[in-house]
């Protein structure tokens, strides 16, 4: 356990150092644009998996949380010219509050009913923002990036590093939850909610905790998106594609372990970027659908499940 923790934090530091160094040596800005999107998807799918994976509550509201993160940043920039760190911190708080509210409204529902309720949340939030004049309404809103500071050469490079920090933070939280009594309780209620209550697992409180943490991380992941695009409009910030992609990434990676959503997000995120560059962004959705079907049929436990099965059969042989 101890050695695992050292390895984990060592790897996290290496990862951050590599991102920092790349800002010095990689000249082509495209890599940062693409890398940002992939890192953002890692945060989102790790966050999704805390409620959707550990607790088994399939959440279609990712785009609601993400979009609220984007718009929290937009609001702070246009209202008081808040710095990036403040935008992210406030977005995380807003996300936590929103997670609490959404959880209170929906977490008494189970299975498909919960999922449908989360779609409804997305639509409600999007409609609200669309009709919010001072945030640009349906037409969207432009924002200006402040000048960038050393050691970064461009603002996008800095955003990539910030998103990488969020990746480390979200993975560390997810890993902590998995190894703690919170994670055990969530696993128990995923398997059998009534049995979990019988053994004294405070199911509603744990689900609320998961929803709050998941919501805070999703909103935080969305916040730098405003500066990344220098523009926000409701149709793209609340695009249901985020919900579907993130869900697919987590499920394809496997939700039984924190590494699953990370693997899934890298795999699908890279594939999407390649397809966008080589064919078109529309093909993304098709490929996503095909991959999801293949995995649901062939490897319902995701990539993690395939590895575990492989290891188990090796052990027997």
Partner 1 sequence: MRGCRRPILALSLAIRDLDAGYGAVKALRGVSLDVATGETVALLGTNGNGKSTLMKCIMGLVRPWRGSVSLTIDGATHDLARMSPEAIVDLGVALVPEGRRLFPRLTVSENLMLGAFRRAARRDIARNLALAFDAFPVLKERAGQLAGTMSGGQQQMLAIARAMMSSPRLLLIDEPSVGLSPLLVSQMITKIGELGERFDLTVLMAEQNFNQAVRIADRGYIIVHGEIVVAANVDELHGNDIVKRLYLGGSV
Instruction: Give the binding site for partner 1 (CB under 8 A).
Output: 181, 184-185, 187-188, 191-192, 194-202
Min dist CB 202 to partner 1, Å, is: 5
Min dist CB 189 to partner 1, Å, is: 9
Kindly tell me which of 245 and 255 has the beta carbon lying closer to partner 1: 255
Min dist CB 54 to partner 1, Å, is: 12
Kindly tell me which of 200 and 298 has the beta carbon lying closer to partner 1: 200
Peptide bond into 151 cis (omega under 30): yes
Kindly tell me which of 49 and 245 has the beta carbon lying closer to partner 1: 49
Min dist CB 175 to partner 1, Å, is: 18
Kindly tell me which of 5 and 205 has the beta carbon lying closer to partner 1: 205
Kindly tell me which of 153 and 184 has the beta carbon lying closer to partner 1: 184
Min dist CB 314 to partner 1, Å, is: 16
Kindly tell me which of 56 and 95 has the beta carbon lying closer to partner 1: 56
């Amino acid at each position: 356990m101890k050695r695992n923790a050292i390895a984990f934090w060592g790897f996290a530091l290496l990862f951050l150092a590599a991102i920092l160094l790349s800002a010095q040596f990689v000249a082509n800005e495209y890599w940062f644009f693409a890398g940002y999107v992939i890192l953002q998807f890692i945060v989102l799918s790790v966050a999704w998996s805390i409620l959707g994976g550990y607790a088994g509550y399939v959440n279609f509201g990712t785009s609601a949380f993400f979009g609220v993160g984007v718009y929290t940043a937009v609001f702070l920039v246009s209202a008081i010219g808040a710095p990036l760190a403040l935008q992210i911190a406030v977005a995380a708080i807003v996300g936590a509050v929103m997670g609490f509210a959404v959880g209170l409204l929906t977490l008494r529902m189970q299975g498909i009913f919960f999922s449908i309720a989360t779609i409804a949340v997305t639509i409600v939030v999007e409609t609200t923002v669309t009709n919010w004049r001072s945030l640009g309404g349906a037409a969207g809103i432009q924002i200006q990036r402040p000048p960038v500071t050393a050691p970064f050469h461009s603002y996008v490079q800095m955003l990539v590093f910030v998103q990488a920090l969020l990746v480390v933070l979200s993975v560390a939280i997810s890993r902590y939850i998995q190894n703690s009594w919170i994670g055990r309780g969530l696993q128990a209620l995923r398997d059998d909610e009534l049995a979990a209550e019988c053994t004294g697992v405070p199911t509603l409180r744990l689900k609320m905790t998961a929803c709050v943490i998941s919501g805070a991380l999703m909103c935080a992941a969305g916040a730098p998106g405003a500066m990344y695009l220098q523009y926000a409009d409701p149709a793209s910030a609340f695009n249901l594609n985020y919900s579907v992609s993130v869900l697919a990434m987590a499920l394809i990676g496997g939700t039984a372990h924190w590494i699953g959503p990370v693997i899934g997000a890298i795999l699908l995120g890279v594939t999407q970027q390649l397809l966008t560059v080589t064919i078109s962004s529309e093909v993304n959705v098709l490929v996503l659908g095909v991959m999801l079907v293949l995995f649901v049929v062939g490897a319902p436990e995701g990539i993690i499940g395939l590895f575990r099965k492989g290891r188990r059969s090796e052990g027997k042989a």
